[in-house]
Amino acid sequence: MHLVQFSYKEFSQSDWHLDSGASTHIVSNVNLLTNVCNRPKTKEIIVANQTVVPVSCSGDLQLTTCVGDNEFTIDVKDVLCVPNLTTNLLSVSRIIASGNRVMFNKHGCLIYNSQNDCIGEAILENGVYRLIVIRIQQPLVAAVKFSSNIWHRRLGHINTNDLNKLKNGAAEGVSFDDKSENNKNSCIVCCEGKQTRLPFPTSTSKSRNTLQLVHTDLCGPMENLSLGKAKYYLLFVDDFSRMCTVYFLKCKSETFKYFKQYKELVENQQSKKIKILRSDNGGEFCSTEMTNFLKQSGIVHQKTNSFTPEQNGLSERYNRTIVEKARCLLYDAKFEKFLWAEAVNTAVYLKKTDHQQQAWMAVKLRMKYGQAESQS
């Protein structure tokens, strides 16, 4: 059992005080801790008024202190969490035991590390030493490990192989225990949401640059109007990078408007021009205004033969994947069907995080992203 000299009712929960009588570090807010142990060795402590208060857990945290114009990040290990304590305490004896020095004077005290750098300053206020703290580093959600089933659902019911590849480095922040359940045949939502026709064959495209070939496809009309009154969604997929972009349309005639928006966006962002647009023979893609605009822009329009969507297999496969993910998201969350556009938008984002997309990103668009996309 540890002893604390302060009366736990006297101070603010946001303050940090140095306590020469405390035998351990104490925090009142469990959310500040990382590496949390819910079975601490110390079960309770005694405060100055001889009250015994329970310890809920222990862990580590980071403090950012200020000394003059300089900031220092301090790692504090083995901190006890006492929710009933309305302040936070740093044990002077534990600070010294960690190889530091604490120098007291009439105005307060200074903390020096083993390199003789002053890394902390406390001000004497009302007989106690309050440490000057800029902020406490809040632990990231990524510090928590979720089960593979949670990741499977979070990533739009991603398949088992791609989920494992994400865990193994294709994206940052995906972590789960190897022993946790990860049975691809056990997800009822996947069984209900992915009952589709046979897959389209793999594309034989040999694009070597972004925007050399862009695939597009229109999906709809949907059974329900979206929140934005849309009935269709329009998908664009860059053949080289596999980057996909989606727009939601109230009617097919808006296809031309959103193609111009897409063209302006990607050409401006990448400082390149679209060379080829591949679509089916739908009237929305073969209208007079679309045809004239493509000619004026120097874009070759490749159209698939009637009733052979396999010729535009990439966009068809992406459409299938997005529809499946969106359907699974709605089923899993038990949302109404009119939220299909929000589900599709989420599915498009999640598509960027699967293994194949991450591989394309890492190799071909590293200059743009710099690192693997984080899921935390």
Q: Point out the residues that are catalytic.
A: 19
CA distance 105 to 94: 20
What's the DSSP call for residue 170?
A: I
CA distance 10 to 189: 53
CA distance 367 to 269: 13
| Cβ atoms 196, 208 nearer than 8 A | no
* C-alpha angle 367-365-258 in degrees, rounded to nearest 5: 115
Closest CA to 18 of 93, 86, 68, 99: 93
Question: 126: left (phi > 0), else alpha (psi -120 to 50), else beta?
Answer: left
Q: How many CA atoms lie within 13 A of 343 on its CB side?
A: 26
Closest CA to 228 of 344, 341, 343, 349: 341
What is residue 239's three-state secondary structure? coil
Question: 307: left (phi > 0), else alpha (psi -120 to 50), else beta?
Answer: left
